[in-house]
Structure 1
C-alpha cells in the first residue's frame, strides 16, 4: 500500500512502515495530485478532505490524527465507502496544560491566585470535561455550558451561555465548530455576548477559531481594552487578523494541542483503526516506542513556596511564553501567514504535565494537592 501523511504526524514510520511506502508532505501541500495514487491518507486539521481532494484517487482510508473532524467531509467519505478514523481525546490533556499555563501566567501578572477566580467552560467534551475535573481538584469553582450534553445526560448543574458569561471571571471556549442547526457554534460568542463579558475578565479560545467573532472581539478591545485575552485559534488561519493579534495578551498559532504526547496518541489511535479496517493484527504499541521525557522528576521540600513551586513545575514542562516569543520571532521574519504554518511545522518538543513526577521529601498536603490537581504525578518520599 501507499501512504501519504502530514509531515507533522510523529511515529508514522514506526506504526505504518510495515504496511508499505510512506510519503510525507506539509499539510497545506496535500492536494489532489499528491493523493491520486495513494491508498491511505493521514492528515491533521489544516488539510481539507473532501471531493475536491479525493475525487478520482485510489484513497480507501482517511485518518485525521486530531480531535476535531470539521475539516473532513464525512458525508462524502460515507458515500464513497472510504474508511475513516479520528483521534478523539488524544491531545485533550495537552490543551488543558496550555489553558492552565496561560491562566497561571495571567493570574501571576494580576497578583491574584487562580483559585480565587470562577471559570466558565463552554463545551464539556474531552477538553472541557478534563479542564473542569482538574480545576475541581484544585478547588477552583467552574460553571459549565454544553446544551447538547445537558439534554442528552440530563445535567441540571449546567448553565446557559448568557448565565455563564454573567457569572464567570474566566471564559474558556472548547466547542467544536458546528455550522448549522439548533446548537450551531459558528460565532457562538457573537458581538452581543462579547459586549456582555464583565470588564477585567479573561477570554480564552483553544477550541475553534470561528466559534468566536474575531472582528467583534477586536472592536471591543479597540474601544475598551478591558479584557485579558488568550487566543490559540483564529478565524481565517493562517492569514489571521493582525490587528486582533496585536491586542490580545497571549497569541499562539493553534498549538495548544501540540504536545508530543498528544500527537503520538493520535497516531496510535489512527493506526489501530487502519489495522482494524484492513483486518490486520495490531503489532505496535505506543508504550513500546514512546521516548522518555528529558526531565523526569523534580524534588520539593515541605517549605517550598506554593505559588512559586507550582509555577516551577508548570514551566519545567510547558511555559506558554515560549510559544508567544517563538511565534513573534517567526512573524517578524516571515510575515503572519507563513509564520503561522512554519512555527507549527517546526514546533519544539513539548511534553505534558503528566510526564513529570514531583517528589516531596515531607508531606505538604496543600501544595501536593495543588500540584496533583494541575496534572502532575506526585510522590511522597518513602511511599
Structure 2
C-alpha cells in the first residue's frame, strides 16, 4: 500500500508506517503523477484535492489534518466512492490562544481595558464556539453570529449587522464557502468594512478570502481608528505586503499551529483511517505528545487579574514573535516572499496550549480562579 502525504504532517511514521510505504511530498507540489499509484492521500489545507487531481488514481481514502474542508471536492468524492475525513477541532485551542494573545497586544498598544469591550464572534463552530466559551467565562460581553446555527437552534445569535453596529472587537472564525446563500467569500467587503464602528479591532484567523484584502487595505488607509490582525491572506502564500504593513499583527497562517493541534490532527485522521479499514487503533497521541515545558504556575491571591491573564496567556504563547518573524520575511521578490511564507510554516517552532497549564493560587481569589477556569487551565 502506498500512502502519499504532505511532508509537513507530523508523526507520519508513528501513526501510518504500519499500513504501508509513506511518500512525503511538499503539499503545494502534489499533482496527478504524485498520487496516481497512491491508495491513501494525506494533506493539509494547501493542497486542493478534486477530480483533476484524483481521477484515474488508486486513491480510496483522503484525510486532511485540518478543520476546514474548502480545499476538498466532497461532491466528487461521493461520486467516485472515495472515503474522506477531516480533523474537526484539532487546532481550535491553538487559534483561541492566538486570539487571546492578539487581544492582549491590541489592549497594550491602545491602553484599553479588555473587560469593557463588546466582542463579536462570527462563526461559532469548533474554533469560534470555544472562543465564545472562554470570553464568556472571563465575564466579557460577547455577541455571536452564526447563520447556520441560528437557523437550526434559534435564540442566542445575532445578525452580522448587529455585530458590526455594536461590537468593539470582531473575530472571524467562519469556514470558506464561495457560493450559495451562506457564502462567506468576501463576507467583509468594502461596504461592511466601511460600516465598522470607530475604533473597531478586526481579527481574521479563519480563511483569507473571508475578508476582501484589497478593500481592507484601502479602509485601513482611510481610517486610522481601525486596527486589524491577520493570520490568513487572499492568495496565500503570496501576501499583500502593503496590507501586512498596516496590520497591528500579521502572521503566516499559524494561528492553530500549536504542537498539540498539529499532532492531534494526525491522530484524528489515523483514527478515521482505522475505522475505514475496520481495525482498532493501536497508536495513541498520548504516546507521543511530550509534557508541556511550562506546566505549573503559582499565583498569589493579591495578583492583579489583568496582569495574571496576560502572564498566563503570554507565558504559553505570544503572537508578537511570529509577527516579527513574518515581517522580516516580507522582502525580496514575490517568489522569495512565497517561499519564505511556506518556510516559516514548515519550520515553525514548537508551541503548546494554555489548557495544559496547572495553576496554584496561594490564598483566596475568586477573580483569579475565574480567569484560570475560563482559560481552560487546571486549578491545583
Does the pair score TM above 0.5? yes
Secondary structure, counterpart of 1:351 in structure 2: coil
Instruction: Indicate the residue corresponding to 1:11 in structure 2.
Output: 11
- Counterparts of 1:66 and 1:145 in 2: how far apart (Å)? 23
Structure 1 range deviating more: 124-133 or 321-330: 321-330
- Counterparts of 1:15 and 1:314 in 2: how far apart (Å)? 31
Q: What is the CA distance between 1:377 and its match in structure 2?
A: 2.1
Map Cα deviations across residues 257-289 of structure 1 (whole Å, 9 max, x no partner): 111111111111111111111112211111222
CA contact (8 A) 2:241 2:330 kept: no
Instruction: Indicate the residue corresponding to 1:55 in structure 2.
Output: 55
Q: What is the CA distance between 1:364 and its match in structure 2?
A: 1.6
Instruction: Indicate the residue corresponding to 1:252 in structure 2.
Output: 251
Cα RMSD (Å): 1.3
- Counterparts of 1:306 and 1:333 in 2: how far apart (Å)? 44
- Counterparts of 2:247 and 2:330 in 1: how far apart (Å)? 15
Is 1:376 the counterpart of 2:373? The answer is no
Secondary structure, counterpart of 1:131 in structure 2: helix
Instruction: Indicate the residue corresponding to 2:201 in structure 1.
Output: 202
Secondary structure, counterpart of 2:148 in structure 1: helix
Secondary structure, counterpart of 1:245 in structure 2: helix
Secondary structure, counterpart of 2:229 in structure 1: strand
Q: What is the CA distance between 1:243 and its match in structure 2?
A: 1.2
Structure 2: which 5+ residue stretches go unaligned? none
- Counterparts of 1:84 and 1:363 in 2: how far apart (Å)? 50
Q: What is the CA distance between 1:315 and its match in structure 2?
A: 1.4
CA contact (8 A) 2:292 2:356 kept: yes
CA contact (8 A) 1:100 1:374 kept: no
- How do 1:104-115 and structure 2 match up within 5 A? 104-115=104-115
CA contact (8 A) 1:77 1:83 kept: yes
The number of equivalent residue pairs is 378
Is 1:64 the counterpart of 2:61? The answer is no
Secondary structure, counterpart of 2:297 in structure 1: strand
Instruction: Indicate the residue corresponding to 1:351 in structure 2.
Output: 352
Q: What is the CA distance between 1:66 and its match in structure 2?
A: 0.3
Map Cα deviations across residues 295-315 of structure 1 (whole Å, 9 max, x no partner): 211112222232222212111
Q: What is the CA distance between 1:33 and its match in structure 2?
A: 1.6
Secondary structure, counterpart of 1:325 in structure 2: helix
Structure 1: which 5+ residue stretches go unaligned? none
Instruction: Indicate the residue corresponding to 1:174 in structure 2.
Output: 173
Structure 1 range deviating more: 47-56 or 135-144: 47-56
Instruction: Indicate the residue corresponding to 1:128 in structure 2.
Output: 128
- Counterparts of 1:6 and 1:31 in 2: how far apart (Å)? 12
CA contact (8 A) 1:242 1:336 kept: no
Q: What is the CA distance between 1:111 and its match in structure 2?
A: 1.6
Instruction: Indicate the residue corresponding to 2:326 in structure 1.
Output: 327
- Counterparts of 2:303 and 2:25 in 1: how far apart (Å)? 47
- Counterparts of 1:373 and 1:147 in 2: how far apart (Å)? 26
Instruction: Indicate the residue corresponding to 2:22 in structure 1.
Output: 22
Map Cα deviations across residues 303-357 of structure 1 (whole Å, 9 max, x no partner): 2232222212111110011110122233347842122111011111011101121
Provide closer, same or farther for how the CA distance between residues 206 and 370 of structure 1 changes in structure 2, counting only shifts above 3 A.
Answer: same
- Counterparts of 2:114 and 2:291 in 1: how far apart (Å)? 31
Map Cα deviations across residues 215-263 of structure 1 (whole Å, 9 max, x no partner): 1111111122221100111111111211111111110111111111111
Q: What is the CA distance between 1:378 and its match in structure 2?
A: 2.2
- The TM-score, its normalising length taken from structure 1, stands at 0.96
Secondary structure, counterpart of 2:89 in structure 1: coil
Secondary structure, counterpart of 2:279 in structure 1: coil
- The TM-score, its normalising length taken from structure 2, stands at 0.96
Structure 1 range deviating more: 135-144 or 26-35: 26-35
Instruction: Indicate the residue corresponding to 1:340 in structure 2.
Output: 341
- How do 1:122-271 and structure 2 match up within 5 A? 122-155=122-155, 157-271=156-270
